[in-house]
Chains A and B, each alone.
Chain A
Amino acid sequence: EPEVTQTPSHQVTQMGQEVILRCVPISNHLYFYWYRQILGQKVEFLVSFYNNEISEKSEIFDDQFSVERPDGSNFTLKIRSTKLEDSAMYFCASNGGEQGPSYTFGSGTRLTVV
């Protein structure tokens, strides 16, 4: 069964450092997303990406965050200067159509900022 792959599974970084979280969405999907889940809290939408541009972003997705699809397969989330409160599970998701019946999440990257 097709899956969304995220790397690394766990990243520890110093406060103020830049991190890049990587995702390989399902190959024929068109819509890509990043969500995050702070420990014990609900899943929160960060950003959606379609047709090589950001289609929507939340208030969490400030100037410290950026996304990129550098080639035909990877989808990355960059945090420029990490803060302690950025510690969370970050999930990538992809979707083949607008209604979402093929919405698929990756297993996540646990980011710990120390």
Chain B
Amino acid sequence: TQLLEQSPQFLSIQEGENLTVYCNSSSVFSSLQWYRQEPGEGPVLLVTVVTGGEVKKLKRLTFQFGDARKDSSLHITAAQPGDTGLYLCAGRSGTYKYIFGTGTRLKVLA
């Protein structure tokens, strides 16, 4: 069974601080996605990474896919209260489905 473990599970930081969220697995994924989910809403796709070692930037968010395609990280620079939410990684398993990680709940305090 493929599992994606995220760490930390919870994170509470002050506005302006930097943070990194990790997504780890013992399995290789052909691609990996990061989502943000608000309470009562569906996950919203932030990025898809496909190539081992790939780095993608989305404003203050930097996503990296591990060289072996087993892990990924999300780094947020100068966090803002609007970044508060549940961050999910999801690895592509086979052709048609994504396996979701355990989630990291981020709270940014003003």
Contacts and interface: CB of A to CB of B under 8 A. Distances in A.
A56 B94 contact: yes
B94 to A, nearest CB: 6
B87 to A, nearest CB: 12
A72 B7 CA distance: 41
Contacts of A43: 43, 88, 90, 100
A103 interface: yes
Interface residues of A, number: 26
A48 B41 CA distance: 20
A103 B98 contact: yes
Contacts of B50: 99
13 contacts: A4-B42, A33-B96, A42-B102, A42-B103, A48-B96, A56-B94, A56-B97, A58-B97, A93-B42, A99-B48, A99-B50, A107-B40, A108-B42
Contacts of B88: 42-43
Interface of B: 31, 33, 35, 40-45, 48, 50, 88, 90, 92-103
A103 B42 contact: no
Contacts of A48: 96-97
A107 B96 contact: no
Contacts of B94: 56
A42 B41 contact: no
Contacts of B44: 105
B97 A45 contact: yes
Contacts of A76: none
A50 B96 contact: yes
A42 B23 CA distance: 14
